[in-house]
Amino acid sequence: MKIKVLYFGMIAEVIGHDFEIIEISNKNSTVNELIKLLQAKFPKLEDMSFKVALNQSIVEENTKIGINDEVAILPPFAGG
């Protein structure tokens, strides 16, 4: 299945885009699998700290990704 992944801040800078459409396996795909896929594509991510949000809430790496989920890769926060 295809999912839309949003990138922000220093992550978007390293990847070179604000979002991408990424193909992941249909069944039981987790956040962890998506991270592995992204790290293989962008090795710099391995040295970077980030959190993953699914539908605008931070989730754990073992969370399953559904077809209509909005996925976002969030670098460290700097608000305020």
Partner 1 sequence: MNKEKKIKNVFIEGPITPAKIADSIAHHQVKTNIGAHDIFLGQVRADVIAGKIVKAIEYSAYEDMANKVFDEIRESAFVKYDLTCAHIYHSKGIVKAGELCLFVFTSSKHRTMAFDACRYITEEIKAKAPVFGKELFEDDSHVWKVNH
Contact residues: partner 1, CB under 8 A: 6, 8-10, 13, 53, 56-57, 72, 74-80
Q: Which is nearer to partner 1, 26 or 78 (CB)?
A: 78
Q: Which is nearer to partner 1, 40 or 70 (CB)?
A: 70
Q: Which is nearer to partner 1, 11 or 25 (CB)?
A: 11
Minimum gap (Å) between residue 28 Cβ and partner 1: 25
Q: Please tell me what DSSP assigns to residue 45.
A: G
Residue corresponding to tokens 């959190």: 51
74 contact partners, CB below 8 Å, separation of at least 6: 8, 9, 11, 50, 51, 52, 53, 58
Do 49 and 74 contact (CB within 8 A), yes or no? no
Minimum gap (Å) between residue 25 Cβ and partner 1: 26
Minimum gap (Å) between residue 75 Cβ and partner 1: 6
Do 69 and 55 contact (CB within 8 A), yes or no? yes
